[in-house]
Amino acid sequence: MKGYLAVMRGSIMVGVVYRFGFIFSIIGNVIYLGVAYYLWKSIYRHADVIRGLTFNETFLYVALGSAIFILLKTYMDWIMNYEIREGSIATYLIKPIDFGLYMLFTSFGSVLMNLAAITIPTLLMLLFVFKVDFTLGPGLLIFPLSLFMAFLISFYFDYFVGLLCFYSESVWGISTVKDIVVTVFSGALIPLQFFPDAMQRILLWLPFQAVYHTPLMMVTRPDQGWEVFLPMLLVQLFWTVALFIATRMFYNQAIKVLRVSGG
């Protein structure tokens, strides 16, 4: 366990080395928030409530969605793609550690770095620049837990795509498709409430919404109670465990076809 924590610590330190990148992430985020603010403002010009959501709730949902998006973006699929193509995956496999957990802790290290450098500044900006109302509700208590599971699910998407490189050796197309599917079907771009009812019912059972919609509901709908949150948490938990097991089985298959060429 201490080994994995050391790996995580290393990953945070690598993040610090490239601190310049964060400034651009924050600038990009400010622009995105500004655009989202005026876009939703104009959508709400003729109605106070759309699909049961007020402007404040929708904007909070979208803005926090972008904060979580940046928080969870650790590029593990791209990193694995590079390591597998280039052959440096061999340097992981010679160490007495589990490859999946190694990647998980590396990813978690970058998430912590993202949290401090991007997510927290974004939240402060929401409070003091865009002046959104945060209402404290019971959901806020389980938000950290839900967000952690969201991280695990998001990581396992990346990890799954990364493992595909053992077969395809190039992941560009798959990775792009994954990003689009996750962004649209998870509620990261548009709140799930805005989808047609039938589609919503399907989406709520899929793992994508567990990354954004579930934790976002915890903070944007403080009026809801446990009877709404608990089933959502259970769906999240189900997908966390299912993806953990599925990627583990996939790894055991994929590692058999590994080729490390050169050197």
Partner 1 sequence: MSLIHVRNLSKHFKVLNRREGLGGALRDLFSGDYRTVEAVADISFDIEAGEIVGYIGPNGAGKSTTIKMMTGILKPMGGLIEINGLPPYENRIRQAQIMGVVFGQRTQLWWDLPVIESFKILKEIYKVDQKTFDEHMGMFNELAGLKQLYSQQVRTLSLGQRMLCDITASFLHNPQVVFLDEPTIGLDVSVKAKMRSIIKELNQTRNTTIILTTHDLGDVEALCNRIIIIDKGKLLYDGDIKKVNALFGAYRTLKLQVDNFNETTLQTLNEKLTERFGTGHGIVVGESEEFWTDVTIDQARTPLSDVLNHVMTNFPVSDVRIVEISMENVVRKVYDGALS
Report the residue from 24, 45, 52, 94 that binds partner 1 according to the rule CB under 8 A: 94
Cβ closest to partner 1, residue 100 vs residue 121? 100
Query: By CB under 8 A, how many residues form the interface with partner 1?
Result: 28
Q: How far apart (Å, rounded) are the C-alpha atoms in residues 53 and 67?
A: 20
Cβ closest to partner 1, residue 36 vs residue 89? 89
b or e along 62-80 (b: 16 or more beta carbons within 10 Å of the residue's beta carbon)?
A: bbbbbbbbbbbbbebbbbb
Q: Are 219 and 132 in contact (CB under 8 A)?
A: no
Q: Is 259 left (phi over 0), alpha (psi -120 to 50) or beta?
A: beta
DSSP-assigned letter for residue 155: H
CA 220 from centroid of its chain's CA atoms: 17
SS3 at position 94: coil
Report the residue from 38, 91, 206, 231 that binds partner 1 according to the rule CB under 8 A: 91
Q: Are 15 and 110 in contact (CB under 8 A)?
A: yes
249 part of the interface to partner 1, by CB under 8 A: no
256 part of the interface to partner 1, by CB under 8 A: yes
173 part of the interface to partner 1, by CB under 8 A: no
Cβ closest to partner 1, residue 6 vs residue 230? 6
18 part of the interface to partner 1, by CB under 8 A: yes
CB of 21 to partner 1, least distance (A): 12
Subset of 147-166 contacting partner 1 (CB under 8 A): none
Q: Which stretch binds partner 1 (CB under 8 A): 24-32, 115-123, 124-132, 255-263?
A: 255-263
Cβ closest to partner 1, residue 196 vs residue 263? 263
DSSP-assigned letter for residue 133: P
| Backbone dihedral angles phi then psi of residue 246, each to the nearest 5 degrees | -60, -45
Q: How far apart (Å, rounded) are the C-alpha atoms in residues 79 and 197?
A: 38
Q: Which two tokens stand for residue 171?
A: 């992941």
Q: Which stretch binds partner 1 (CB under 8 A): 70-78, 82-90, 146-154, 204-212?
A: 82-90
140 part of the interface to partner 1, by CB under 8 A: no
Q: Which residues of this protein are in contact with partner 1, per CB under 8 A?
A: 2-3, 5-7, 9-10, 13-14, 17-18, 87-88, 90-91, 93-98, 255-256, 258-260, 262-263
